[in-house]
Structure 1
């Protein structure tokens, strides 16, 4: 866990629960806001539509009055008997839609004579005074239209037209509001003049008119009565006796002091929306229930599985002990409880994969368990051990003295190897160790482990198995290697890598018989960089392959120039990394490059190191590639011959053209054993038809002996160090003049 704690699962579940509740409350608030907005829309709709209806009713009543006035003018021109007049009025009545119509003369006669008008006397009297009137009989809710009849500018009578309750209800019935609206006409006192078919809501309203309570509905009605007196319009909401919520709008008519009242349900617009809102709440409620059940199930599952999850997270599957995550967690707790210093050690079993290959993975796992148990048994209270990966173990020791740490680790190594005395096929565990003494607890455990690993890596290439302690120089070296890695590409593009040639001299005639191509890196800022610094580094990646190809092409350019200038070229050998053999077609590029520069066969030689031949998995591949090299016109030599343990076997197995004797053979040239070995190797090469090359020859004594045993070529400082191409050509020319 790197000393950091993640979010607990129950916290995550809690956050989700709060989020869901928040969403649910948000929907409630949103639904409430939506409902209020819909009610406002319904209120505005009721006000607008009833206003239009009131205007329409007023217009239609005025139209009726105008129509009666025209009929009154016609009556004044009718001359004849009352019977003829009655027939005329009857025809007009049917056409105009009146239930009854009559002419009332100033002399008191009525045509037709059976017309009853006593309940409308006030309106009739007003028409005799020259007014057009609409008079209502509230008991029967009949309406009488009256207009004066003039003849010679004198009022001779009144034309009266009666419309009964049903007729007037049809007039005021609204066609909007989806058939759910009701209208009535009242006067300024609140008395119903014309009621709708269903009068119950208005009877309830009438009751409210006479209440003196202080309810919200009562206050709204009182406000409406004031508006009616002032001929204003408005709308309010109230609850009917039936429990239904209604909107009541009121609009003054242009007839008398009458007002049109319109009732519509409050849910006229919001009804459908509320249904869907209700369904949404049902769905959300269902989701909440399901999620609640899910949380309950997860909580129970988590409670039961927590120990198992911790075991998976902190227990190594092979050893049954701590893994790296558990090590880091334990380290964090230890450093919180105790003061420094501590020491973190990386404990690695060298070449552990050979145990798996030789004895099987089951035995390998047993060995890892044995190592873990042995180390655990040798720790002090509070110290920690864990297998981090593969064959790597981390230790946290309560020590700070390098001598004490080294002694304890050495004792652990001895204890680990006691088992070899008890098994039928004994084998020895070689341990590499790297340590970092922790004095600054602010350092992250990951950095601390990396520093122990850096110290351990400093022992990888050596045989020394003593514990290596971290030094800042290791980090500086890694930094420098990283800088070299980053500088590779630009240097390759800028040709900062330069071809140097070291001559190979034939001992039989003293002529130059060949040269080895060597790379030198002249960086524009860092200056000359030693091959010992960058070659091993680039060997760890495919950069070495790209560098080999670059140097091969430089050698081709050099040979091509020699050929074009008319000089007799000498063979050039170039080094070939073992990484090339990972690509089965790697020789194609080399062949095409040599052909592009028109290099004849036999002038280019690949130098292979013994390490290429020691990979059992690639033996057949290497044999095939060497055969292919010969087919493509390349020579092949074995470099550093004798540095390994299987050199003689390599000469027998592989079809090479030359062997280069390792320089270590010539350090003790005065020793007879060394001379005898050299003599045997030279004799062997001659019998096998191989060219022998002695490299690293620096003294006259070494050169003299190589001449004595009949070595073919000698390469070393005795003749020349590696030279840039131009300097090599000058040296070569002088050499030829001196031996000619």
Structure 2
């Protein structure tokens, strides 16, 4: 019924939207878009025209500026004194000895006095002698200076031109200032031969001032570029005489044009993702280009107020129509509004909304049905169905809220579970295990403050988020929980283990839960303490594991792993009767990496599957090598990780590997660790039976290290039992322990099982084991794990 009502609401709102708001919205969008486009286009055209006005105006001012000086030098060039001076001046002569020298200096000084602010230097250059002479202020007046006239930028044009012209900019020889010269050739009135030039150097800074003297309504930049594509004028004076392509990129755009109208006219271009408008025109009397440029974004800025007004009208129109349609919709759907809101809150995880309706019509029935649904979903979504406390999702939400909403408070996450909880279910039944979980939940409900949060994450894992003022408070809570758990009425030693992580608002809750779980894993099974606080050492361990995971695949491909063999010896004769293959990692930079650092990690991430398969094949290669060389064949045992139980093709892989190297099946002994017998027994036994039928010898490794070995001996299809090193060391240290060892060996012999003692380190241990009925042992008393050649030497292999 709820679904039908909500579908009706959805259909009604959709019809109203399609019939009213949507068409009007489309019309308003089209009108607004068209208006903005038209205004933008008009303003762009206006800005281009303003750029044109600015460029042509600057060009006119600059041409007038040049004309004034061209008239000055042209009038002086007609002086008879200038022509006579050049005719009588010869190479090697001192200009002062020339009879026209002082008249000429007066002429140059007079020209310089016209505008000493703009003129850098007034000078003449005699082509025959190569001597240049400047006005008095330039320090060239006394003796003249010889220069390489043919290399100057104005020389070629001076040879061909008879009129005054403007040279491209260059660096003044007088004071290294960037200048452009107004040059007029001096010719022999008889032979019409060019004798030299009269010129004045105009400072580029003065030219720049002329170009920049105008003001426009747009924020534009005016530049002048010479025929060599260098800047003559630029707002950035450091770019004067610098190449224009590298400085601004304008010349490339102009050179790419196809017509004169595009070169000397309006244009647009893009540079560094910015759009520009511009106008270019030629500077009369020169080979220069005047360019005025403005960013298009500035144009947009000018019309932005108008655009904002259009957008405001557009938004107000939408709001007006929305209000009208919302009013109509409310009148139609008001009876269902509360139910709609409640449903949305329900989707957000808010189950506190309750509906109350006195109406007995369809809406009232719908409200009542929704209330019932909310209550049911609340119970399922928030509370753990077994214990009645928060589930993982609800606890996470509660913890996030506490940490984020109380930045001034320090919170701690306390994660704990029960050691060997699975055994409680196995020995006493799952119902008894459930009672234990409810027992713990009841204690948390009574003991944890309502201002804190707690919940059951999974299985026997619980977590508490509580304010942390001191470590003693946390330890007090841990001790109380421990005491309560141990007091549960059951004939079993219950021990809770705790991992504590101090929270901060910058770290995600999932990370905090991981850290508390990491702290918990460090004390799991410890007899010294049952709690640990997360610290930097654990973080470092994470980094170490991360580095190992990053390198593990490459290490296997590059041959950094090798197998070592540890001999199994007959205790009575010390003869080598077998070997165990152990993997070693030889890192090219870090040296040997201890197996304890990478084996547990590989078992967690699954890489142990590839590594085990590598060890199996290497062991088969060794046996094959012994067979080819005529050495005695002795079995090599290899480990089968519990991760392999979940690999469907395990049996086929091992069998195919043995057949590939054509070695006897019984020469490859397969060791299953005792921890593999804790869970998935049916699957494990099925695999072991299949391997045993093929002819493989199976052994149980680490016997005595766990709790269920004796319980499984009667059913497990194993041929060899390997007594764990720790079990051996602890048991032989006391008379009671020795009694246990002797009787264990006796029991295994009666079960027709072979026995291998691991970790034998002293002769006393070997003698005791031999006297107790164990005939095979391995350990440092005989030999540590060694490489293949060292093992062959130790075993005294001969053909």
TM-score by length of 1: 0.55
Q: In structure 2, how many angstroms separate the alpha carbons of the residues matched to 1:713 and 1:464? A: 34
Aligned partner of 1:643 in structure 2 is: 705
User: Contact 1:613–1:622 at 8 Å: present in 2 too?
Assistant: yes
Aligned partner of 2:131 in structure 1 is: none
Q: In structure 2, how many angstroms separate the alpha carbons of the residues matched to 1:646 and 1:336? A: 48
How far off its partner does 1:641 sit?
2.8
User: Contact 2:524–2:530 at 8 Å: present in 1 too?
Assistant: no
Comparing 597-606 with 366-375, greater Cα deviation is found at: 366-375
Check if 1:300 corresponds to 2:351: no
How far off its partner does 1:404 sit?
2.3
For 1:566-587, what per-residue CA distance to the aligned partner results, in whole angstroms no more than 9, with x for missing partners? Answer: 2222211111123323345421
Aligned partner of 1:24 in structure 2 is: 23
Aligned partner of 1:414 in structure 2 is: 483
Aligned partner of 2:192 in structure 1 is: none
Q: In structure 1, how many angstroms separate the alpha carbons of the residues matched to 2:666 and 2:535? A: 50
Aligned partner of 1:632 in structure 2 is: 694
How far off its partner does 1:687 sit?
4.4
How far off its partner does 1:679 sit?
3.7
Q: Which of the residues 556, 576, 597 maps onto 1:533?
A: 597
Q: In structure 1, how many angstroms separate the alpha carbons of the residues matched to 2:591 and 2:776? A: 33
Q: Which of the residues 294, 304, 310 maps onto 2:350?
A: 310
Q: In structure 2, how many angstroms separate the alpha carbons of the residues matched to 1:350 and 1:677? A: 25
Show the 5 A alignment for 1:248-327: 296=334, 299-305=337-343, 309-311=349-351, 312=377, 315-318=382-385, 322-323=390-391, 324-325=393-394
Check if 1:713 corresponds to 2:782: no
Aligned partner of 2:259 in structure 1 is: none
Show the 5 A alignment for 1:120-131: none
Q: In structure 2, how many angstroms separate the alpha carbons of the residues matched to 1:491 and 1:501? A: 20
How far off its partner does 1:534 sit?
1.6
Show the 5 A alignment for 1:382-461: 382-415=451-484, 420=488, 430-438=495-503, 440-461=504-525
Q: In structure 2, how many angstroms separate the alpha carbons of the residues matched to 1:650 and 1:492? A: 36
Instruction: Give the alignment's Cα RMSD to 1 decimal.
Output: 4.3
User: Contact 1:327–1:385 at 8 Å: present in 2 too?
Assistant: no
Q: In structure 1, how many angstroms separate the alpha carbons of the residues matched to 2:684 and 2:402? A: 54
Q: In structure 1, how many angstroms separate the alpha carbons of the residues matched to 2:510 and 2:15? A: 33
Aligned partner of 1:570 in structure 2 is: 634
Secondary structure in 1 aligned to 2:409? coil
Q: In structure 1, how many angstroms separate the alpha carbons of the residues matched to 2:595 and 2:752? A: 33
Aligned partner of 1:659 in structure 2 is: 721
Secondary structure in 1 aligned to 2:523? coil
How far off its partner does 1:610 sit?
2.4
Check if 1:519 corresponds to 2:583: yes
Secondary structure in 1 aligned to 2:638? strand
User: Contact 1:637–1:660 at 8 Å: present in 2 too?
Assistant: yes
From the superposition, tell whether residues 721 and 330 of structure 1 become closer, same or farther in structure 2 (CA, over 3 Å): closer
Q: In structure 1, how many angstroms separate the alpha carbons of the residues matched to 2:519 and 2:760? A: 37
Quick check: which has more Rg, 1 or 2?
Answer: 1
Aligned partner of 1:476 in structure 2 is: 540
Secondary structure in 1 aligned to 2:500? strand
How far off its partner does 1:690 sit?
3.5
For 1:315-343, what per-residue CA distance to the aligned partner results, in whole angstroms no more than 9, with x for missing partners? Answer: 32535555544654565457645723332
From the superposition, tell whether residues 300 and 647 of structure 1 become closer, same or farther in structure 2 (CA, over 3 Å): closer
From the superposition, tell whether residues 348 and 15 of structure 1 become closer, same or farther in structure 2 (CA, over 3 Å): farther
Secondary structure in 2 aligned to 1:397? strand
Q: In structure 1, how many angstroms separate the alpha carbons of the residues matched to 2:703 and 2:464? A: 42
TM-score by length of 2: 0.51
How far off its partner does 1:590 sit?
0.9
How far off its partner does 1:593 sit?
0.8
User: Contact 2:419–2:525 at 8 Å: present in 1 too?
Assistant: no
From the superposition, tell whether residues 18 and 654 of structure 1 become closer, same or farther in structure 2 (CA, over 3 Å): closer
For 1:296-322, what per-residue CA distance to the aligned partner results, in whole angstroms no more than 9, with x for missing partners? Answer: 576332334467551257732535555
For 1:531-589, what per-residue CA distance to the aligned partner results, in whole angstroms no more than 9, with x for missing partners? Answer: 11222222234322222211010001111111111222221111112332334542111
Q: In structure 1, how many angstroms separate the alpha carbons of the residues matched to 2:538 and 2:736? A: 41
Aligned partner of 1:618 in structure 2 is: 681
How far off its partner does 1:604 sit?
1.4
From the superposition, tell whether residues 296 and 481 of structure 1 become closer, same or farther in structure 2 (CA, over 3 Å): farther
Q: In structure 2, how many angstroms separate the alpha carbons of the residues matched to 1:354 and 1:19? A: 64
User: Contact 2:399–2:465 at 8 Å: present in 1 too?
Assistant: no
From the superposition, tell whether residues 718 and 381 of structure 1 become closer, same or farther in structure 2 (CA, over 3 Å): closer
From the superposition, tell whether residues 670 and 352 of structure 1 become closer, same or farther in structure 2 (CA, over 3 Å): closer
Secondary structure in 1 aligned to 2:478? helix
Q: In structure 1, how many angstroms separate the alpha carbons of the residues matched to 2:456 and 2:703? A: 41
**Consecutive unaligned residues in structure 1, runs of 5 or more:** 1-12, 35-283
Q: Which of the residues 759, 771, 774 maps onto 1:696?
A: 759
From the superposition, tell whether residues 469 and 685 of structure 1 become closer, same or farther in structure 2 (CA, over 3 Å): closer
How far off its partner does 1:721 sit?
0.6
Aligned partner of 2:233 in structure 1 is: none
Q: In structure 2, how many angstroms separate the alpha carbons of the residues matched to 1:690 and 1:392? A: 39
Secondary structure in 2 aligned to 1:514? strand
From the superposition, tell whether residues 17 and 380 of structure 1 become closer, same or farther in structure 2 (CA, over 3 Å): farther
Q: In structure 1, how many angstroms separate the alpha carbons of the residues matched to 2:332 and 2:791? A: 82
Q: In structure 1, how many angstroms separate the alpha carbons of the residues matched to 2:403 and 2:733? A: 62
User: Contact 1:328–1:445 at 8 Å: present in 2 too?
Assistant: no
Q: In structure 1, how many angstroms separate the alpha carbons of the residues matched to 2:430 and 2:710? A: 34
From the superposition, tell whether residues 719 and 16 of structure 1 become closer, same or farther in structure 2 (CA, over 3 Å): farther
Tell me how many residue pairs correspond in the alignment. Answer: 470
Aligned partner of 1:588 in structure 2 is: 652
